[in-house]
Amino acid sequence: MRPKDIKNITCIGSGLIGQGWATLFAIGGYNVTLQDTSEDQLKKAVEQVQLNLKFMDDNGLLQGGAVAPFSHLHTDPDLAQAVSEAHYVQESVPDNYPVKKKVFVEIDAHAPVDAILASSSSGLLMSEIQKVVTRPQRCVLVHPFLPVHLIPLVEVVGGEQTASETIQAAYELMEKIGKNPVRLKKEVSGYIVNRLQAALLREAVDLVAGGVADADDIDRAFCDGMGIRDPFVGPLLRACLAGDGIENFVREYSDSYRLRWESMAGWSSFSPAMKETLISSVNAMSIVREYPMKEIKDWRDRMLIEMLKLERKCC
């Protein structure tokens, strides 16, 4: 399936991620079918898509208004029917192999033979999911970020049996709907962003657990220190700039980084005490105590809009 031939897109699963995909594909002018297991869930999802479109329109992110994209959206609780004419299927059901595999088997059985089958999984491997389908070469991982309709990045990666044309088509489709895709050269659990996040979260939990700082201060240190610069400068360019050239960085900073890395823990799952620390420290944060989640999310989205308005050009 070539990107220019993709007209009908089905989103399987209409939770947080499926709603975001449906919003984006509808804006892209595709015929979007949103599928989930219950009519109730689909009703909620459609309401959220409408809110997403209104929010984007109110903030100048939609050129032709919100009405036309919304008219491209349909729902169908019947998976077989929902995918029967799909050129591209974006699956966003819960993140575990048994559920993903069951859904992929169904999609594979009912979608057209040349349809692209993409998964939104935030950490599972396509090589494992595609073992259960008859045409594994059509399956690809296309990993978005919350809120899907606002964050530009998607990570695209194939499994062992994925055809390179499938990866390329998914990549080009993402570009067509305005995403900034990054292609991984090979699979790894958590892909790029979630691995970076996992490393940062482990250290943040350790800093709280070790009594170094409170959660409020750790998050403020991140936002006012790294965060303000991170939208423009990633960790590798940052190292280059910090050393006024990467060779000098390696020469000057290897020892101090060694001391930091040596003092960091290497645990790989939350102990009961870690869970306790994480829950109590985050619940003690002033923003979490003072505002409902919905208000925090709305504020985050307004701030994201401001960021998106900044034109990101290379110097």
* CB nearer ligand NAD, residue 132 or residue 242: 132
18 binds ligand NAD (CB under 6 A): yes
Contact indicator for 72, 111 with CB cutoff of 8 Å: no
Q: Which stretch binds ligand NAD (CB under 6 A): 64-72, 95-103, 167-175, 253-261?
A: 95-103
191: closest CA among 144, 257, 244, 230?
144
Question: Which of 103, 154, 177, 205 is in the footprint of ligand NAD by CB under 6 A?
Answer: 103
112: closest CA among 132, 83, 141, 90?
83
List the Cα angle 35/36/41 in 5-degree steps: 120
DSSP for 88-155, written as a single string: EEEE---SSHHHHHHHHHHHHHHS-TT-EEEE--SS--HHHHGGGSS-GGGEEEEE--SSTTT--EEE
Per-residue contact track with ligand NAD, 120 to 159, x per CB under 6 A? xxx--------------------xxxx-------------
Q: What is the DSSP letter of 224?
A: I
Nearest approach, Cβ of residue 242 and ligand NAD (Å): 30
Question: Which of 41, 50, 59, 161 is in the footprint of ligand NAD by CB under 6 A?
Answer: 41
Question: Which of 8, 10, 14, 75 is in the footprint of ligand NAD by CB under 6 A?
Answer: 14
Per-residue contact track with ligand NAD, 227 to 256, x per CB under 6 A? ------------------------------
Q: Which stretch binds ligand NAD (CB under 6 A): 92-100, 169-177, 184-192, 270-278?
A: 92-100
Question: Which of 1, 6, 12, 141 is in the footprint of ligand NAD by CB under 6 A?
Answer: 12
Distance CA 221, CA 261 (A): 19
* CB nearer ligand NAD, residue 6 or residue 124: 124
Distance CA 51, CA 47 (A): 6
133: closest CA among 151, 111, 155, 152?
111
Write down the residue that tokens 């947080």 correspond to. Answer: 16
Nearest approach, Cβ of residue 103 and ligand NAD (Å): 5
With CB atoms as reference, the residue minimizing the distance to ligand NAD is: 15
- Site size toward ligand NAD, by CB under 6 A: 25
Q: What is the footprint of ligand NAD within residues 61-90 (CB under 6 A)?
A: 79
For 159, residues 6+ apart whose C-beta sits below 8 A from its C-beta are: 125, 126, 127, 128, 129, 130, 136, 139, 140, 141, 187
Write down the residue that tokens 């700039």 correspond to. Answer: 241
Report CA torsion sign: 291, 294, 300, 305.
Answer: negative
* CB nearer ligand NAD, residue 98 or residue 292: 98
Q: What is the footprint of ligand NAD within residues 259-298 (CB under 6 A)?
A: none
Contact indicator for 14, 22 with CB cutoff of 8 Å: yes
Nearest approach, Cβ of residue 114 and ligand NAD (Å): 22
93 binds ligand NAD (CB under 6 A): yes
Other beta carbons within 10 Å of 60 = 10
Question: Which of 9, 36, 179, 191 is in the footprint of ligand NAD by CB under 6 A?
Answer: 36
Under the rule (CB under 6 A), what is the footprint of ligand NAD? 12-18, 35-37, 41, 79, 92-95, 99, 103, 120-122, 143-146
